Structure 1
Amino acid sequence: MKLRLIFFCALSLALCAGTGWYIINQAFDDSGASAAAAAQPAPPPAVQTVNGETVVVVSPDAQRAGHIEVAPLAAVRTQPGIHADATVVDLQPLFDLRNRLASARADVDTFSAQAAASRAQYDSSRTLFADDRNISQKSLQAAQSAMQGDAAKLRSARIALEGLSGTLRQQFGAPLASAATAPASTLFQRLQAGQSVVLRITLPSSFAAPPPVQIAIDARDGHTVPAQRLSASPLADPAVQGTPWLYVADTALPANLRTSARVPTSSEAVSGLLIPGQAVVWYGGQTWAYVRTAPDRFTRRYVPAGNEGDRGFMVTAGVTAGFHAGDQIVTQGAQLLLSEETRPQSIGTACKDPPECDD
């Protein structure tokens, strides 16, 4: 009995010793793991400030998931210019004036023939009256009255024709007036068929006259069409201040449509960088574009407005130092980067159980 009691006591002591050793080792292991975890650096925040610039950090995996794409900036040469207001002129008054001119011209021809016939009749009657009064004086007076009446009608028709011609020039300028009165004008035929349009381009008062012979008009489909200069516009657009000019473009546009025109300011091309339109985002009322400065870092930089064209925004030398040829510009996903940059960041706190975390 004593031997059995001694055996159970020894077994209990051994079990207690093993359990204590396991607890001590587990405590050391937990403290080591905690120390190792504390020694690991925390991941960098998604938005940082480096050298005064805001940097958005996006891992390559996140870039692929967000379909963020970049393309190198290319140096291009372009012709400097400005944008001007353009309005498609309603040509119905021009067509109406042309019809009235044709009618007035026909009246002039008719009264010219009548005046010539009445004058010949008067000359014949006067000869007969002078030749021993072969006709009565009353017949001579009737012939004279008819001649004078036809002459008055001819003068009136000519005045009406001149008035219509002056109205035509006053409203549409000399080139369009000449086209409307010419027997066969290709320009007028195209305008009447709707194959060409006339636009009133309002240039700034400070623009050096005369404007360029050819400009580009923004069409409805997002493309531009060339337009040729006609003349200075006799009428101005009351809604736009400036100097109006008339241009003709071989395209079909609805009357009174308001669009814009690209007007070159110099015949010499300048070098610059072309920022694609899809790379530009609006923020704070200004235009911006993102540049990838590192495999996982993007920086938003200001794009000067006013030089936008069909293919994008032109950044010329001396305007800004934010872009350089070869920069990796974000062409897809710029709005996603802007959302990440402007998203409220998480707020760190030193307390273990802050009240604002109760919710």
Structure 2
Amino acid sequence: MKLRLILLSVISLTLASDAGWYIYQAVHDAGASTTADAPSSPPPAVQTVSGETVVVVGPEAQRASHIEVAPLAAVTSQSGISAYATVIDLQPLFDLRNRLASAHADVGTFTAQAASSRAQYQRSRALYADDRNISQKSLQDAQSAMQADDAKLQSARVTLNGLDGAMRQQFGDALANAAAAPASKLFQRLLSGEAVVLRVTLPASFGMVPPERIAVDTADGCAVPAQKLSASALADPTVQGSPWLYVADAALPANLRTSARVPTSSQAASGLLIPARAVVWYGGQTWAYVRTAQDRFTRRFVPAGSEGIREGDHGFMVSAGFHAGDQIVTQGAQLLLSEELKPQGIATACKDPPECDD
């Protein structure tokens, strides 16, 4: 009997030991599986790598925030200044040209009449001198007709010269010559609306001969080349400086006020053009974000003023700090700046809404 009890006790202890080991193993394996399956915590949104501040934004967040990038390309540009430009209303020029053409026709007509009446007077005087073959009254009538035709011719010439002078005073020699030429290609382009004339006012301190070619900004943000015509006899009353006339092959509305880029050197400089929409202001300076990895963005300084060349309203041309092919952020740069400047490690969501009422 005692032997049986001892045997049962041993069997019970063995079964209990096996059950305990099984439970321990199951709990241990479950804990290990939970630890392995738990997702790793995401990296912080702002990091510091090699002394640079890096904003981390995943691809999904980039698409949701409409963050767009574009590669930088090398460009060449000339140093220059920005000048005021106004598209001139050419209707007065067309009207003067029509009146000038009519005055030219009158001069031709009266020239022929004056020549005819002079010849008639010469014949009448010869006949009168040859033993009075015509009466003195006929000779006087021929002389009066000649003098009248000469006066008409002189008046037509004065009118023609006055119109030519008015045209040159308002529109300069180049446009006046084009209007007077019967087959001027320049005037035909202006008349058909394929080209416009701009009055470009250079600063009084420009200090050099105006360049033959400049670039004029259009309303859609593009630039068209313009060719110098002549000095402008009329100035823009709202702008002080030296006015010059330029012609551009573009359809621009009359009296449009725009700007022109006037080169100050014939030497072309090469660099990278940072688009204006990619530039953000912070701390009184200009910056741009570059995507250095699929989900990482770094803010870099964009030189301005004496260190950078401002390309009108198109952006900044730089020669340092960036490289050709850099993925520059063209949309969403302000959002990245806000994310970079946001305090890190501060919970923005309340876990227990009733306790947030205080």
With over 3 angstroms needed to count, the CA separation of the structure-2 counterparts of 1:228 and 1:102, relative to structure 1, is same
With over 3 angstroms needed to count, the CA separation of the structure-2 counterparts of 1:133 and 1:75, relative to structure 1, is closer
**Aligned twin of 2:304:** 304
**Aligned twin of 1:79:** 78
Partners of 1:76 and 1:100 lie apart in 2 by 49
Partners of 1:46 and 1:240 lie apart in 2 by 51
Corresponding residue SS for 2:265: coil
Amino acid across the alignment from 2:299: T
Q: CA deviation at 1:339?
A: 3.2
Mapping of 1:112-131 within 5 angstroms? 112-131=111-130
Q: CA deviation at 1:100?
A: 0.7
With over 3 angstroms needed to count, the CA separation of the structure-2 counterparts of 1:284 and 1:240, relative to structure 1, is farther
Partners of 1:245 and 1:178 lie apart in 2 by 16
Partners of 1:245 and 1:143 lie apart in 2 by 52
Corresponding residue SS for 2:220: coil
Partners of 2:218 and 2:126 lie apart in 1 by 71
Amino acid across the alignment from 1:97: L
What's the Cα RMSD here?
3.5
Q: CA deviation at 1:45?
A: 8.5
Amino acid across the alignment from 2:269: V
**Aligned twin of 1:313:** 316
Q: Which moved more, 1:106-115 or 1:301-310?
A: 301-310
Q: CA deviation at 1:281?
A: 2.9
**Aligned twin of 1:133:** 132
CA contact (8 A) 2:289 2:297 kept: no
Amino acid across the alignment from 1:299: R
Corresponding residue SS for 2:147: helix
Partners of 1:77 and 1:195 lie apart in 2 by 28
Q: CA deviation at 1:178?
A: 0.9
**Aligned twin of 1:88:** 87
With over 3 angstroms needed to count, the CA separation of the structure-2 counterparts of 1:285 and 1:187, relative to structure 1, is farther
Amino acid across the alignment from 1:214: R
Amino acid across the alignment from 1:125: S
TM-score by length of 2: 0.72
Indicate the percent of aligned positions where both proteins have the same amino acid: 74
Corresponding residue SS for 1:184: coil
Partners of 1:286 and 1:93 lie apart in 2 by 48
Corresponding residue SS for 1:100: helix
Q: CA deviation at 1:256?
A: 0.9
Does the alignment pair 1:110 with 2:113?
A: no
Mapping of 1:334-353 within 5 angstroms? 334-340=333-339
**Aligned twin of 2:163:** 164
Q: CA deviation at 1:140?
A: 1.8
Q: CA deviation at 1:162?
A: 0.8
CA contact (8 A) 1:71 1:331 kept: yes
Partners of 1:279 and 1:158 lie apart in 2 by 62
With over 3 angstroms needed to count, the CA separation of the structure-2 counterparts of 1:59 and 1:341, relative to structure 1, is closer
**Aligned twin of 1:153:** 152
Q: CA deviation at 1:139?
A: 2.2
Cα displacement string for residues 297-321 of structure 1 (whole angstroms, at most 9, x for unaligned residues): 643635526612586321246xxxx
Corresponding residue SS for 2:237: coil
Partners of 1:245 and 1:181 lie apart in 2 by 21
Q: Which moved more, 1:60-69 or 1:75-84?
A: 60-69
Corresponding residue SS for 2:125: helix
Q: CA deviation at 1:59?
A: 4.9
CA contact (8 A) 1:307 1:315 kept: no
With over 3 angstroms needed to count, the CA separation of the structure-2 counterparts of 1:113 and 1:75, relative to structure 1, is closer
Q: Which moved more, 1:281-290 or 1:198-207?
A: 281-290
Partners of 2:322 and 2:207 lie apart in 1 by 32
**Aligned twin of 1:192:** 191
**Aligned twin of 1:221:** 220
CA contact (8 A) 1:85 1:201 kept: yes
Any unmatched runs of 5+ in structure 1? 1-42, 349-356
CA contact (8 A) 2:82 2:312 kept: no
CA contact (8 A) 1:67 1:332 kept: yes
Partners of 2:233 and 2:100 lie apart in 1 by 19
With over 3 angstroms needed to count, the CA separation of the structure-2 counterparts of 1:347 and 1:112, relative to structure 1, is same
With over 3 angstroms needed to count, the CA separation of the structure-2 counterparts of 1:302 and 1:52, relative to structure 1, is farther
CA contact (8 A) 1:293 1:299 kept: no
CA contact (8 A) 1:223 1:310 kept: no
Corresponding residue SS for 1:266: strand
Corresponding residue SS for 1:265: strand
Q: CA deviation at 1:334?
A: 0.3
Q: Which moved more, 1:163-172 or 1:73-82?
A: 73-82
TM-score by length of 1: 0.72
Q: CA deviation at 1:288?
A: 3.3
Amino acid across the alignment from 2:82: H
Q: CA deviation at 1:228?
A: 1.3
Q: Which moved more, 1:269-278 or 1:168-177?
A: 269-278
With over 3 angstroms needed to count, the CA separation of the structure-2 counterparts of 1:285 and 1:155, relative to structure 1, is farther
